[in-house]
Amino acid sequence: MTPTTFSVRTLGCQMNVHDSERMAGLLIDAGYTPVDLVPDAAARATDAGDGGADIVVVNTCSVRENAATRLFGNLGQLAAVKRERPGMQIAVGGCLAQQMREEIVHRAPWVDVVFGTHNIDVLPVLLERARHNNEAAVEIEESLKVFPSTLPTKRENPYAAWVSISVGCNNTCTFCIVPSLRGKERDRRPGDILAEIQAVVDAGAIEVTLLGQNVNSYGVGFGDRGAFAKLLRACGQIEGLKRVRFTSPHPAAFSDDVIDAMAETPNVMPSLHMPLQSGSDAVLRQMRRSYRSKKFLGILERVRDKMPDAAITTDIIVGFPGETEEDFAQTLAVVEASRFASAYTFQYSPRPGTPAADRTDQVPADVVTERYQRLIALQDRISTEENEALQGSVVEVLVADGSGRKDEASERISGRARDNRLVHVALPPEQAGPAPRPGDIVRARVTHGAPHYLVADSALAGGLFEIERTRAGDTWQAAQAAAREAREASEHPTTAVGLGMPSLRRP
């Protein structure tokens, strides 16, 4: 019998990626099949992003500008696909679903399921309910019922894993809709987190990223303000775990015990994402960001004192309501002093339901755009200078999957260095032995620094090129072999003899 296939599309942050892995795990557990394992289904994929699947799940984000406009544009494309694909179902989840609820079905009545950030676990049940009742199933919870990390998962990469340490946020930033959609912060117990990390390492992963809306406030919920530093140190005791990262901290609660734990735990990587948002103290106050530029720069100074090679990245919003040219000049000054490796920069756009959206002193769009371009130019210059300074240094790169056409054309592989910089590494002209696999680690010398990446072409001139074949690479290779077998099995199905027994899973 032909399997029922699914595809999960992820929009937004790392927490959404983590949630999408849980959605995929739930659907597999319910008997559905990833569409990429069924070639005949995948071959019917369209430009609408359906992947050729019978079930398309869109995990939405409400942070980006015009998120709703983009969602309904995509749903319109999927409607055309659904008309030509009998039995197809469309499900919408994530932050925008939590915010818009029944309105999604009112505006796109061909959507079958709407579920929110607090009840990922009901996705298979809602799909079945919608199918049985022949009407949309909408279910939104106001608070978390099941911690997502307890759910089945299909990880995006076998060599790296996202592990959630908390959900929700207790901050009240005036520009941010996340707390109202993700709820108040809830912390997992350290033992549960470490058990999950051990499980993913046992399954072949060598890199873990700890996730939370504000990771360094972890532990407040159970009365231990030093819990995050202790958690980092505990990760250092897990055999086989080579790399630990985390995102995102908050400057107001970032403490020296965390810096010490990073510096003193060998498998915690020398990379830090520290959101600035604005360099103006006046704007930070209006944003309800409970730190000021002096404190922020002090954190960076202490991090670099303990970890001189740390790469620090940030988030910056341009054009927050009431921002003056003087405010923006202060942001540029802090960026210049901070020497960020890179920055995620955003033009402010109002989010309905946030205090900043109701302000009458919105900055004109042309002013915001002009300031944004100046910020981009400054950060590109700094990023280029910082990356060029690394020419001649040795990088240790965890090879990534899906490098893209550019790498195929240049015969390079790509991955992340210890400090999380993107590195493109040339293979030797005459490779001796098997090529490195995703999950393996290569060492090479940097030959070029660009604004957004490094190039390590030392192998082309007979220079440094070393491969460490890892358990993670073995796991990736085994996963590829299993996927090939599954695809072949779907192309040449065997006929089973039924015994008349009821099935508890979907075919």
pLDDT of residue 64: 60
Q: Is the pLDDT of residue 13 over 90?
A: no
133 belongs to a structural domain: yes
Last residue of a domain, one of 108, 139, 170: 139
Q: Is 176 annotated as a binding residue?
A: yes
Q: Is 441 helix (H, G, I), strand (E, B) or coil?
A: strand
Task: Please name which of 211, 155, 208 lies closest in space to residue 188, comparing C-alpha atoms.
Answer: 211
Inside any domain, residue 434:
yes
| 235 marked ligand binding residue | no
pLDDT digits (tens, 9 = 90+) for 79-104: 999 999 999 999 999 888 998 999 99
Q: Whole-prediction pTM value?
A: 0.85
What is the pLDDT at residue 477? 94
Q: What is the mean pLDDT of residues 260-264?
A: 98
- What CATH number is associated with residue 123? 3.40.50.12160
What is the per-residue pLDDT across 423-465, written as a single tens digit (0 to 9) for each?
A: 999 999 887 778 899 999 999 999 999 999 999 999 999 999 9
The pLDDT confidence band at residue 208, using thresholds 50, 70 and 90, is very high
Q: What is the DSSP string of 199-251?
A: HHHHTT--EEEEE-TTGGGTTGGGT-TTHHHHHHHHHTTSTT--EEEEE---G
Can you give the pLDDT at residue 277? Answer: 97
Residue 113 to residue 138: CA distance in whole angstroms: 6
Q: Does any domain span residue 228?
A: no
Residues near 348 by Cβ (< 8 Å), separated by ≥ 6?
175, 317, 318, 319, 320, 321, 323, 356, 363, 368
Tally Cβ neighbours within 10 Å of residue 146. Answer: 14
- Is 507 among the domain residues? no
Q: Count of domains in the chain?
A: 2
Q: Say how far apart CA 316 and CA 296 lie, in whole Å.
A: 13
Average pLDDT of 254-278?
97
- 302 neighbors 258 (Cβ within 8 angstroms): no
402: its two tokens = 């899906």
pLDDT for 403 equals 54
What is the greatest pairwise CA distance in the chain?
77
- Cα 134 from Cα 292, distance rounded (Å): 54
pLDDT at 39 over 50: yes
Nearest Cα residue to 25 out of 260, 203, 233, 217: 203
Instruction: With a cut of 50, say whether residue 496 has pLDDT above it.
Output: no
What digits encode the pLDDT tens for the residues 227-242? Answer: 999 999 999 999 999 9
For 329-358, write each residue's pLDDT tens digit: 999 999 999 999 999 999 998 887 889 989
Single residue among 95, 112, 139 that ends a domain in this structure? 139
**Does residue 253 surpass a pLDDT of 50?**
yes
pLDDT of residue 494: 57
CATH number at residue 432: 2.40.50
Q: What is the pLDDT at residue 151? A: 84
311 pLDDT more than 80: yes
Which H or E run includes 302? Answer: helix 293-306
Write out the E strands in 225-370.
Answer: 243-247, 271-273, 311-318, 342-347
**What's the CA gap between 307 and 288, in Å, rounded?**
30
Q: Which ranges constitute the DSSP H helices of 91-146?
A: 95-100, 103-107, 123-133
In a domain, 457, yes or no: yes
Helix (H) or strand (E) holding 76: helix 67-84
Q: For residue 438, what are its two tokens?
A: 């995703």
* Mean pLDDT to the nearest integer, 278-297: 97
Q: Domain for residue 448, yes or no?
A: yes
Q: Where residue 154 falls among pLDDT bands split at 50, 70, 90?
A: confident
On the question of pLDDT at 500 being above 50, the answer is no
Provide the residue range defining the domain that includes 38. 5-139
The answer, yes or no, to whether residue 470 has pLDDT greater than 90, is yes
Q: Does residue 65 sit within a domain?
A: yes
The reply to whether 90 falls in a domain is: yes
The answer to whether 173 is a known ligand-binding residue is yes
Q: CA 390 to CA 423: how far, in whole Å?
A: 12
